[in-house]
Amino acid sequence: MKTPCFTLGLLLLLTVCCCDAMPQEVPDSGGPYTCCHSFYEKPLPLRFVTSITKTDPRCPEQGFILQTVKNQICFSQTSPWALDVYKSINT
């Protein structure tokens, strides 16, 4: 009785150690991403804008991240000014 139990235990241990189905993070499923928590409302001079991108879809509030020469500023996706800038830069 000891030999079958030992063999079964050894086989189970070998299976666990050599299994390729270990849990791993799925690429692009998590990790850092930028969300906006407050939004700027006043339009900026276009000469300050270097780029504009949408926030990640996983963010609780959707917006645009506007990059200026000095910093990043968040605008709501309902802001007509930010939407116009996004369309003009990304088309």
CATH number for the domain that contains residue 67 = 2.40.50.40
pLDDT at residue 76 in the model? 94
Alpha carbon distance 1, 18 (integer Å): 26
In a domain, 64, yes or no: yes
In a domain, 28, yes or no: no
pLDDT at residue 41 in the model? 92
The stretches in the chain having pLDDT less than 70 are 1, 4-32
DSSP character for 25? P
pLDDT at residue 34 in the model? 84
Whether this prediction's pTM lies above 0.75 is answered by: no
In a domain, 49, yes or no: yes
In a domain, 10, yes or no: no
In a domain, 71, yes or no: yes
In a domain, 50, yes or no: yes
Alpha carbon distance 51, 67 (integer Å): 5
In a domain, 11, yes or no: no
User: Sign of torsion, CA 39 34 26 22?
Assistant: negative
pLDDT at residue 9 in the model? 55
Beta bridge partners of 75: 64
Domain of 50 in residue numbering reads as 35-91
Inter-residue contact 91 to 83 (CB < 8 Å) = no
In a domain, 7, yes or no: no
How many domains does the chain fold into? 1
